[in-house]
Structure 1
Amino acid sequence: MKTLFVFLFSLASIQLAAQTNHSSANEVQSLLGELREIHTPQGIDILDQIVLNGAKQWISIRGRDKANPVLLILHGGPASPLLPVSWAFQTPWEEFFTVVHWDQRGAGKNWVSSDTTLLAEQLSFQTLIQDAYLLVDHLRERLDKEKIFLMGYSYGSSLGVRMASRIPQKLHAYLGVGQMSPGSPEKVIYDTVIQLAESSGNQNAIDELKSLAPYPNPDGSTPIRKMLAVRKWSRVFNGGWYGKPDMNLYFDLPLLSPDYSKAEVESLEQSTSWITRKLLPRGAQAPFPTELQLPVILMMGRHDLHTPFSSAAAYFETIQAPQKKLISFDYSGHMPFLEEQGKFLLELVQTVRPYADQLSHEGGK
């Protein structure tokens, strides 16, 4: 784990330099870019805009050895890309996987060149999942792989688990991080946060949360205004980033991203808000699958109150799969890949990657 230690030590040094004004943001971005350069002969480092389903969309492909298995990550949100924060956790992964980030239709780097009139017409859960199917095939052909790993994070797990049930022959395994679940997870979040507020005697939280009742609405809908208010308090009680009362650090990480321009970073809040308000009311429609013909691994923060651990665990019990495993992170909320980076990497290497190694032993790619 020497690489992880060196990376985290360097990261801490760079953050300290930025905080003490020894370096400008541009200088820090340059240092991070240099720190993350891939020099290995079989390495790959691509930041590319490709066409998926008629729309230009950005992808990042990074790894130290193209022979490694491919890991495609479906970001959350909606429209909250992981690419601009990936510099803070991903480098050690690249020794064991070729890691692919995809800024989904209109999101992230795509926003500044998007026609919002056209985007509003196209945007739906079904369109995103069609885009994702095409991306899987693009990566299999481009990187010469029979199968890849698929990781769905938060909202991306809603896409990912449905995809995994339909294209198991193209995937080594499905990984759900901050896995969305059927049932009434919003009610679970609300009830749990009220209980935590009452236990701690936080009267401000109690008053605001109770003012939101009924939650969800009697028709099952959850207005975004109410959802954001509940999540504000869920973060106070470790449900976002364990040990932090908010996620301001997470939202500031893109400022130092070597992969994003200043204009792209500045557009993130606007694009996320706009796409979320267009997309969420349109729903997912298809039910959550319970029969999957491939290994399923859920990686959940024990304190998660964005996509609650208890709901994911209940969903996990209903899943029928050739192999399945629920991995919990005891000191994590919604982002275990940032909150418990060492353990997350170990699980990727020791639990996840062997499914690809097994295919190699059988003569596949």
Structure 2
Amino acid sequence: MTTPVAAQSKGSGTPRSVDVARLAGVSQKTVSRVLNNEPYVSAEVRQRVLAAAEELGYRLNNAARMLASGRTRSIGVVSLGTALFGPASLLMGIERAVRDAEYALRVVNTVEGDASGITGAVDTLLEQGVDGIVISEPIDEGHVAAVRVEVPVLVLGAPSEFVASRAVSAGVGVAEQLARAATGHLLDLGHQTVHHLAGPQQWYAGRDRLRGWQTALAARGRQQPAVVMGDWSAASGYAAGRGLAADPSVTAVFAANDDMAIGLVRALTEAGRRVPEDVSVVGFDDIPLAAYVTPSLTTVRQPFDAVAREGLRLLVHAIEKPDVDLTPANDPPVELVVRDSTAAPSSR
């Protein structure tokens, strides 16, 4: 049975917070605390307010909240405009995390090779009045003048030069840690050393994976073979594979992404080098195709969603509680996905 207050509110236009307060039997301040998800409200009162708001069809007036707080409840993202799996997946993770935090998302894409792209993108977002900025820019375009930003900035997975009210980071060092795990897996199988098919070194990800491979070999006192360079594409992996196939000493290869690993396996197979009987191959990313190629690809899975969620947690904290110390970022777990492309070296 509908209460008189609810019936009156529904029939008199858009319900207001005062109507919710009357129906729930609480003050307007308590309604505001519940709907803004603030602390110091009991679970019973919180549930009563939410039930009243649902019965009345009340929605928090975002425009009023923006005026009261001086914020737009929007977060800007600077991201490289690319269809490559890594940057695209991270952007999707950011979008989900921003939505879950109940902020609007504004994205400005940069173009590879444009040294001023980040500065221009940040300026565009600041003109739109965003409350915080996420830098998801994977390429080092050379020296960029320090950018002064008056809102908190989150940098994902890479260093950057910003003078911000608060600067936080997440995902730094994750790729290096995953590369160490990939290389260590091959060494644990009994391979004397591991060759590396690297990504382009202007990419922070390419540098991190190279460094992780080097660190893993050095920790075991193993020889470091010459690095073979690729460009993230399966075609570059195939070209590298033709050269590696001609070297009978090659028994294990860590490729900096799955696309290059797939091209590499194709070249090895065509040259008569069996995978994994003659050469073991590990990729990086765990793209959807990795489980369905022949042989299925051993790889390391990037924690895109975990990095995005942790980064947004820190950024929202910096926006909403600027005077409260931040808790340190949590490192995501390392996920090694072992499939059919790796095995112990052949006795031959």
Compute the TM-score of the two structures, normalised by the length of structure 2.
0.35
Higher share of residues assigned helix: 1
Greater length-normalized contact order (CA 8 Å, ≥ 6 residues apart): 1
Highest CA radius of gyration, 1 or 2?
2
Compute the TM-score of the two structures, normalised by the length of structure 1.
0.34
